[in-house]
Structure 1
Amino acid sequence: MKVGLVLEGTYPYVTGGVSSWVHTLIINLPEFDFEIYYLKPDNKVRSVKYEVPSNVIAIHELNIFGDFQPKISGKVDFDPLERIISEISSGKAIESIIPFAIEFIEKNTGKSIRKMLKTRRFWSIMVKIYENFFSERGFTEYYWMIMNLFLPVINALQFTPDRCDIYHVPSTGYASLVGINGKVIHGSPLLITEHGIYHKEREREILLSSWVPDSYKPMWVQLFRIMSMIAYEMSDLLTTLSRKNQAYQLKLGADPEKMIVIPNAIDVDAYSLPKEPHEGFIIGFVGRVSRIKDLKTAIRAISLVKEMIGQREKLKFLVIGPADEEDYLTECKRMVEVLKLEDTVEFLGPQNVKEYYPKMDLLLLSSVSEGQPLVILEAMASGLPIVATDVGSCKEMLYDRDGQCGIVVPPKDHFSMAKAIVRIYEDNELREMFSKNTRRVVQKYRLDRMIESYRKIYLSLIEKRVPSIS
């Protein structure tokens, strides 16, 4: 049995939580073959970051922003697209256009959608949108903004995967369009798994961006919402990591009848290591050095912690993980110098974290966006108290009904972060209680439970294979 995994910017070329999850899934389901469809943002040659398992039988790549013109034909049916424009022009809610968007996909999958950009009918639609919504902007700017908006969508819709028994997409967005192609053309079931909520993450990026003029930002945000709504509607099953994520999915019309929560998981026993004696109080940061992990807020918090602790004990802050953004790493190192923390903060790069968890006294997670961080589970298995920002399912994990495992603080609030760290540092009983609770609560996130859940889902979906239209 063959599973088509459609991945956007993750495995096997980029490390991180989703990539680790994918790798773990593949190696623990050896009875399935996996064919990977990797969507990338450019034509750069990337090195593989994982030892690809033998049951990965092929890796296909697509530059979704590139000049992708496959040898396919077929005249595009414009009718659903014109209905979409009519609904938007009438001020209808985006929910009203989803049926027409799905109709457009179902009627045009496997056709050369790229060619429609050169037709008079498409040009007429472009002009109508401009006159209704963007006439105060220059037309040339508008044209290229529309092209940048829709090029990756068109490329994804033209990228037809090979026949697989099931398509599994760990996100919505562009990758989900490829999975939908597979479902429509080959009649194979589609499983969507969301770690973070894709449209929320893209919305945050767009609103903070400088390259998208303010007039166009609502259009970009709506596009990603629409893609999520289409993916939710066309999926046969929708899994996510937490109840909090489900709430976001339900707001966009996901069907509760096909929703399942399957938490992240780790090999708990592999991280249940004895503590190692060490000097001072050691705080660990484990993750990619990138803006979304917000290491700068963590560094500011460490500076305050150092002031609060004073000379009582030597403080160390270990930053473990690769630098996804070199310029951001440089900024973080500069901040360390400005705050005079050179003797406190150590940038260790990628390391075997199992060698460091036993040396730590606390894990700090400062992200502005997360799904269900594996590093929290690893730290829990190691018996570490945790201070984490209130993103993704962090609160759900740390404030478990069977025991509190740490303290959750608002994102980008280094004062609250520092106070939480000092509270744990100063209260030995609290620290011990958190440590005991983490080892107990993490048993709910055992790897064998997650793997068995996906094994059952794969087999169930394959047995109920939907009819093929090809």
Structure 2
Amino acid sequence: MRVCLIVEGTYPYITGGVSSWIQMIIENIPDVEFDVVHLAPWKWSRPFSYKMPVNLKSVYEYPLFSVDFKKDGEMLDEKEIVRNIRQLLFLKESRVEFFSNILRSVSGKHIDYILQSKTFWQFLVDIYERYFYEEGFPSFYWTIIGFVLPILSAIQSIPPKADIYHSTTTGYAVLSALSGKYIHKGKLIVTEHGIYHREREIEIIKSTSIQEIYKKTWIEIFRLISETAYQECDALTTLFEKNQLFQFELNADIRKSRVIPNGIDVKKFSAIEPVEHDTFNIGMIGRVVPIKDVITGIKAFDIFVKKHPNSKLYIIGPTDEDEEYYQRCVDIVRLFNLEEKVIFTGRANVLDYYPLIDVLLISSISEGQPLVQLEAMASGIPVVVTNVGNCPEIALDPDGQSGFVVEPKDYQAMAEKLDVLASDKHLCKTFGENGRKIVQEKYNLEKMISEYRRLYEEVLSSAIQNT
């Protein structure tokens, strides 16, 4: 069996979340050969963040903002392509079927050249004059090109031949995966850790770089891609039931759907022994990027430390992914005079820090099912998490509470819950014991790997039976 995993801007360069999940999948199914297709806005020069498993045969890289205007290979009628795009824009029904047929017809073909054609130019002028005539044409033109380029690039990012294409998003990655499915006759599995179209919708709505007049169109494009992925895939997985409901809103087929929770190496983390320390240590583990909302965590610590001065905040994770945001975090630490209390570790082995941590704080504004929450629980560490993704359901599991839940951005509430835990060692112990039990029963690595192995075998078996 050969499986091609297709990712956007994560593995093997970015640590945490999806990347850690991919590494665990590949390492723990050693009899399956894997390839990885990595799509990103640019070619990355940084080194890999993971040691490549022996069964990972190749990593393919495709930039999402590249064009190839050469008219070589099999050519398609540019007028027909533009005619189909125009028709798609005005369809009221059967848009998914029509879009999937377009993808089938263009998969594996170089079609960038249509951007230089008179037909495409006239199409843009028509759309401009009909809907966007009050906007400046240069701004309109480059906005549309910015929409179109990554879609064309993803469609032309043809993955290697594989039995199964496993996409980790319903965005650009799934367009590449669909090309593999159509060209090489493979099967398609889609796994969503977070719900892609909802995350992009939030980003677009909040964006200051996209003009309001274009936001609805851009949101609809992502919804259409997601809905098409749900229809065309052979299996659809996500991490928890609430995510499934969002998938069903876009007509995901319940017969293809299943929930496979994340899993961790429980033995490794439950073997961690606390190290004696004379401070109360709060840990934030993850990339220092806006979606993790590290700044809110720092604000919460600033309130907390006034009541518990013998405390430290360890921010454990890479700081080089968004250097501007990291600098903002550093500036706020200086503003609050917390330089002696807040430690940015940079990239680090979390196993070196779990023995020192008394509470894990997750202040994110968006999450799926964070591995660090499960790791902390397995280590016997109580948590304070935001009400995003699956964080609250895990922390407030009916079989045992392992922490507190607060609303995103509410640093006052975070500080209050941290204060409760710092003031009640018995409660910390109870939450820690509950966390160990819940992870062992529901989120262990062996169970997760077994589920994905079974899924691969079922999907491949279906392919063999249909040949």
Indicate how the Cα distance of structure 1 residues 458 and 378 shifts in structure 2: closer, same or farther if over 3 A, else same: same
Question: Once the two structures are superposed, what CA deviation does each residue of 1:329-357 show, in whole Å capped at 9, x if it has no partner?
Answer: 11111111111212211111122211211
Question: Once the two structures are superposed, what CA deviation does each residue of 1:349-393 show, in whole Å capped at 9, x if it has no partner?
Answer: 122211211221100011111111110011001001100111111
After TM superposition, list the pairs within 5 Å mapping 1:6-405 onto structure 2.
6-68=6-68, 71-76=72-77, 77-78=80-81, 79-87=83-91, 92=92, 96-272=94-270, 273-309=272-308, 314-323=310-319, 324-405=321-402
Contact 1:240/1:261 (CA < 8 Å) preserved in 2? yes
Indicate how the Cα distance of structure 1 residues 96 and 130 shifts in structure 2: closer, same or farther if over 3 A, else same: farther
Q: How far apart are 1:69 and its partner, in Å?
A: 5.3
Cα separation, 1, equivalents of 2:51 and 2:44: 20
Cα separation, 1, equivalents of 2:390 and 2:44: 34
Q: Quick one: percent identity of the two aligned structures?
A: 42
Higher deviation after alignment, 299-308 or 42-51:
42-51
Cα separation, 2, equivalents of 1:468 and 1:36: 26
One-letter code of the match for 1:26? I
Cα separation, 1, equivalents of 2:346 and 2:138: 45
Aligned to 2:457, the other structure's residue is in SS state helix
Question: Once the two structures are superposed, what CA deviation does each residue of 1:106-145 show, in whole Å capped at 9, x if it has no partner?
Answer: 2222223222223343333323322232111012211111
Q: How far apart are 1:274 and its partner, in Å?
A: 2.0
Cα separation, 1, equivalents of 2:369 and 2:142: 37
Contact 1:283/1:362 (CA < 8 Å) preserved in 2? yes
Cα separation, 2, equivalents of 1:260 and 1:113: 36
Contact 2:68/2:110 (CA < 8 Å) preserved in 1? no
Alignment gaps of 5+ in structure 2: none
Cα separation, 1, equivalents of 2:371 and 2:291: 16
Cα separation, 2, equivalents of 1:353 and 1:467: 45
Q: How far apart are 1:85 and its partner, in Å?
A: 2.2
Counterpart check, 1:421 vs 2:418: yes
Cα separation, 2, equivalents of 1:83 and 1:355: 58
Question: Once the two structures are superposed, what CA deviation does each residue of 1:210-255 show, in whole Å capped at 9, x if it has no partner?
Answer: 2211211222222211111111111110001111211111111111
One-letter code of the match for 1:97? R
Cα separation, 2, equivalents of 1:308 and 1:110: 62
Aligned to 2:367, the other structure's residue is in SS state coil
One-letter code of the match for 1:63? P
One-letter code of the match for 2:200? R
1:453 paired residue number: 451
Please give the TM-score of this superposition, normalised by the length of structure 1.
Answer: 0.94
Question: Once the two structures are superposed, what CA deviation does each residue of 1:401-442 show, in whole Å capped at 9, x if it has no partner?
Answer: 211110111111101111111122223332222111001001
Contact 1:184/1:468 (CA < 8 Å) preserved in 2? no
Cα separation, 2, equivalents of 1:121 and 1:467: 44
Cα separation, 2, equivalents of 1:445 and 1:218: 38
Cα separation, 1, equivalents of 2:57 and 2:44: 22
Contact 1:390/1:410 (CA < 8 Å) preserved in 2? yes
Please give the TM-score of this superposition, normalised by the length of structure 2.
Answer: 0.94
Higher deviation after alignment, 71-80 or 220-229:
71-80
Aligned to 1:98, the other structure's residue is in SS state helix
Aligned to 2:147, the other structure's residue is in SS state helix
Cα separation, 2, equivalents of 1:372 and 1:457: 20
Higher deviation after alignment, 181-190 or 201-210:
201-210
Cα separation, 2, equivalents of 1:47 and 1:399: 39
Cα separation, 2, equivalents of 1:317 and 1:261: 35
Pairs aligned (count): 460
Cα separation, 1, equivalents of 2:85 and 2:236: 27
Aligned to 2:281, the other structure's residue is in SS state strand
One-letter code of the match for 1:33? E
Cα separation, 2, equivalents of 1:3 and 1:377: 27
Cα separation, 2, equivalents of 1:143 and 1:192: 33
Contact 2:14/2:49 (CA < 8 Å) preserved in 1? yes
Question: Once the two structures are superposed, what CA deviation does each residue of 1:174-203 show, in whole Å capped at 9, x if it has no partner?
Answer: 000010111111211100001111122222
Aligned to 1:303, the other structure's residue is in SS state helix
Q: How far apart are 1:68 and its partner, in Å?
A: 4.0
Q: How far apart are 1:96 and its partner, in Å?
A: 4.5
Question: Once the two structures are superposed, what CA deviation does each residue of 1:273-310 show, in whole Å capped at 9, x if it has no partner?
Answer: 1222211211111111111111100000001111233x
Cα separation, 1, equivalents of 2:398 and 2:150: 43
Aligned to 2:59, the other structure's residue is in SS state strand
Indicate how the Cα distance of structure 1 residues 260 and 68 shifts in structure 2: closer, same or farther if over 3 A, else same: farther
Alignment gaps of 5+ in structure 1: none
Aligned to 1:411, the other structure's residue is in SS state coil
Counterpart check, 1:437 vs 2:427: no
Contact 1:170/1:195 (CA < 8 Å) preserved in 2? yes
Contact 1:187/1:467 (CA < 8 Å) preserved in 2? no
Contact 1:72/1:110 (CA < 8 Å) preserved in 2? no
Q: CA RMSD in A?
A: 1.8
Aligned to 2:366, the other structure's residue is in SS state coil
